[in-house]
Amino acid sequence: MKLEVNNLNKSYGKKQILKDISFTFEDGKIYGLIGRNGAGKTTFFNCINNDVDIDSGSFNLIENNQKKNLQVFDIGYIQSTPIVPEFLTGKEFLQFFLEINKDRITDKKDLDDYFDLVKLTKEDQDKLLKEYSHGMKNKIQMLVNFIANNKILLLDEPLTSLDIVVQDDMKKLFKKMKKDHIIIFSTHILELALDLCDEIIILNNQKLELIEKKNLNTKSYKDKIIKTLKDSKND
């Protein structure tokens, strides 16, 4: 499975954010998307998710050698600030989500099995979502995307404000999911990207640049990434 980005352009007024971007993402990998503040990482995600109008370009999903236009149900978008219905308990929300998506779920599990995936206890399940910590809300947000089995997962700084234990749980879940998904993971924390991701791409001067994955965790590799970012004009 592949996601093709073809000649993507996006501007806000006179400022061009993304310029003639073409790139192919594949399943089985986690792509680390790195860029300086204001480089356009979230804009790039919003374009893929059809949250903003693009100036030109297209997105195609390729499965079994068949090319099709990207559809809204192909995409799961995980944001750094989780959005959940806080008037429901965790269990009520999950039951509601399963009901409205029952025609799309091919391998339905018991509620407890789903909650076990993200290590939420029975006590947590019966709490209102407004009482959940940021990390617990993030787990719920990730869980419903896991259940929906969206082919493409856009992860926009999903781990930044989580404690180290929750981060580890989430990273294990991402690695479990990558076999059958295209995962693009946006972060400004280089060490996190190097630890989690199979490929590193930089959004630099309105374009995507793949940094060769060689000696991934060496100082020279990190220095190369930092130099590329310092040379960026996207301040």
Q: Provide the residue-wise pLDDT of the chain in tens; the chain has 235 residues.
A: 999 999 999 999 989 999 999 999 999 999 999 887 778 899 999 999 999 999 999 999 999 889 988 888 899 898 877 888 999 999 999 999 999 888 877 778 888 888 888 888 899 999 999 999 888 888 888 888 888 888 999 998 877 767 788 788 888 888 888 888 999 999 877 888 888 899 999 898 888 988 876 666 677 777 777 777 666 655 4
Domain ranges, ordered by start, for the chain: 2-84+150-230
AA letter at 201:
I
This prediction's pTM: 0.84
Q: What is the C-alpha separation between 212 and 215, in angstroms, rounded? A: 9
Q: In CATH, which superfamily holds the domain spanning 2-84+150-230?
A: P-loop containing nucleotide triphosphate hydrolases (3.40.50.300)
Burial level of 62, CB count in 10 A (0-12/13-18/19+)? middle
Report residue 140 as tokens.
């719920």
Going by C-alpha positions, the residue among 181, 177, 176, 165 that lies closest to residue 119 is: 165
